[in-house]
């Protein structure tokens, strides 16, 4: 038998053995997947059942607490305290179980399971989101700087607005996936990205004309300032979150936001003047656009629509930030009294 043929046969024998091992490994993998699927369904159904039973038990505890003896009241208070901690425990469990997509994800992705099954995968995706946000913010900052100081071309403005539309649409999609995987960003800090995406889309369709040119520099200056503040926030919030996570005071899936939240009170209050200035700039943009819309030669619908978007952004950002600051100041005043 030729030597080369012997080498071929030996190699084929090794490959065949590896292939048989691969088939067995893959069979075990499929079996484990089936087991995992059954366990996921079991956990999800048990959580639903537990929620329902805890709700009924909570009402029963309230009824029993009325007119009960002191010793019984203490036992019932202990049960009530444990009932209150269960929702957080269920939330942690559900972050690793398949969940139904919300309306937005269902419209964009359909019924695709976006739940990441390992802590490392979740944290990697969150970390990628933060890097994406910081990189795009820097790019938008530089682009706004170039358009404001060096160029005066409508097509470059259109590219900037298209980037803003793409950026905010991508943020909303990624944030929806992160929320499904246990991130606690919610309320206004999610909704304002939808408003910003819509505003950028309206700015993109605004035709070149006298009114657009009159508002152009004001918008570019606002965009430049906004991106600068967002860069500051990304940098300082990331450091603050890292420190708080290390101390066990924040969740691993908490995100940076373009605003102010209660956890930023220690160490990041210096950002508040920058934020409030940006909020009032949004109000100034809104007033300027509403005044433009009343001019006799104003024919573009984009003027009034942009004014309305800026007004909604101002009201949402300003009142949410004020509510957070008021709550923290109030809690600090009440703390010494309780001590």
Single pTM value for the model:
0.80
In the chain, the N- to C-terminal Cα span, in Å, equals 93
The 10s digit of each residue's pLDDT in 45-101 is 999 899 888 888 888 888 877 766 677 777 888 888 888 888 888 888 887 888 888
| pLDDT surpasses 90 at 323 | no
Query: Which residues, 6 or more positions from 209, have their beta carbon under 8 angstroms from its beta carbon?
Result: 300
Which pLDDT score is estimated for 242?
Answer: 63
Q: Which of 217, 206, 220 is nearest to 304 (CA)?
A: 206
Query: Which of 75-79, 209-213, 276-280 has the weakest average pLDDT?
Result: 75-79
Nearest to 222 by CA among 286, 278, 154, 168: 278
Sequential DSSP letters for 273-297: HHHHHHHHHHHHHHHHHHHHHTSTT
Question: Which residues does 149 contact at the CB level (< 8 Å), separation at least 6?
Answer: none
Contact between residue 229 and residue 274 where contact means Cβ atoms under 8 Å apart: yes
Helix, strand, coil % over all residues of the chain, rounded to 5? 80, 0, 20
Which of 5-9, 144-148, 212-216, 293-297 has the weakest average pLDDT? 5-9
Q: For residue range 18-30, list pLDDT tens digits in order.
A: 999 999 999 999 9
3-12, 54-63, 77-86, 288-297, range with the lowest pLDDT: 3-12
Which pLDDT score is estimated for 272? Answer: 83
Task: Please give the pLDDT value at position 339.
Answer: 44
């Amino acid at each position: 038998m030729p030597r080369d043929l012997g080498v071929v046969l030996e190699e084929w024998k090794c490959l065949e053995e590896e292939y048989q091992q691969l088939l067995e490994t893959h069979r075990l993998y499929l079996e484990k997947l089936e087991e995992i699927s059954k366990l996921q369904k079991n956990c999800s159904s048990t959580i639903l059942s537990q929620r329902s039973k805890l709700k009924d038990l909570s009402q029963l505890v309230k009824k029993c607490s009325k007119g009960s003896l002191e010793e019984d009241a203490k036992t019932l208070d202990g049960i009530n305290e444990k009932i209150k901690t269960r929702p957080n425990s269920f939330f942690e469990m559900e972050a690793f179980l398949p969940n139904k997509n919300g309306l937005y994800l269902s419209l964009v992705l359909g019924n695709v399971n976006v739940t990441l099954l390992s802590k490392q995968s979740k944290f990697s995706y969150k970390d990628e989101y933060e890097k994406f946000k910081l990189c795009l913010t820097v790019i938008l900052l530089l682009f706004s700087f170039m358009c404001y100081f060096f160029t005066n071309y409508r097509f470059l403005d259109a590219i900037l607005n298209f980037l803003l539309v793409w950026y905010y649409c991508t943020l909303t999609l990624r944030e929806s996936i992160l929320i499904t995987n246990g991130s606690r960003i919610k309320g206004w800090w999610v909704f304002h990205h939808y408003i910003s995406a819509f505003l950028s889309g309206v700015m993109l369709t605004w035709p070149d004309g006298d009114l657009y040119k009159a508002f152009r520099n004001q918008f570019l200056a606002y965009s430049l300032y906004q991106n600068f503040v967002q860069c500051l926030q990304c940098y300082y919030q990331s450091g603050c979150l890292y420190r708080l996570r290390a101390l066990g005071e924040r969740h691993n899936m908490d995100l940076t936001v373009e605003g102010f939240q209660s956890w930023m009170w220690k160490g990041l209050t210096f950002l508040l003047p920058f934020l409030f200035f940006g909020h009032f700039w949004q109000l100034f943009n809104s007033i300027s656009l509403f005044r433009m819309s009343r001019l006799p030669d104003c024919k573009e619908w984009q003027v009034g629509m942009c004014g309305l978007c800026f007004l909604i952004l101002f009201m949402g950002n300003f009142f949410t930030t004020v509510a957070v600051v008021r709550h923290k100041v109030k809690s600090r005043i009440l703390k010494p009294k309780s001590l």
